[in-house]
Amino acid sequence: MQYIIQILAAILFGISIAAIFGTRTTFVIIGAILAIAFAVATLFIPSWWVLWGGVACFMVGQLLHRDKFSAA
């Protein structure tokens, strides 16, 4: 089970790195950096709680990202 958690943490790490190189807004960068920190912590401390914290930070950063264009 630890290997599955560590593989998911590596995936979160990769996605967060890609998000940093993608659209550069403050919320995305902060969420991605926090997700990277949680992913690295999960690699050393294989725990679902730490992994969930990283995913939550990443998702909140993505949810707060808004385009400057109107939806109409």
Per-residue tens of pLDDT for the chain, all 72 residues: 889 999 999 999 999 999 888 877 888 889 899 999 999 999 999 899 999 999 999 999 888 866 665 555
The answer to whether 32 and 61 are in contact (CB under 8 A) is: yes
Two tokens, residue 65:
């990202």
Angle (CA) 30-10-22 rounded to 5° is 40
pTM, two decimals, is 0.83
pLDDT reported for residue 67 = 61
What is the enclosing helix (H) or strand (E) of 70? none
Please name the residues in contact with 13: beta carbons below 8 A apart, sequence gap of 6 or more: 35, 36, 39, 40, 43
pLDDT reported for residue 24 = 73
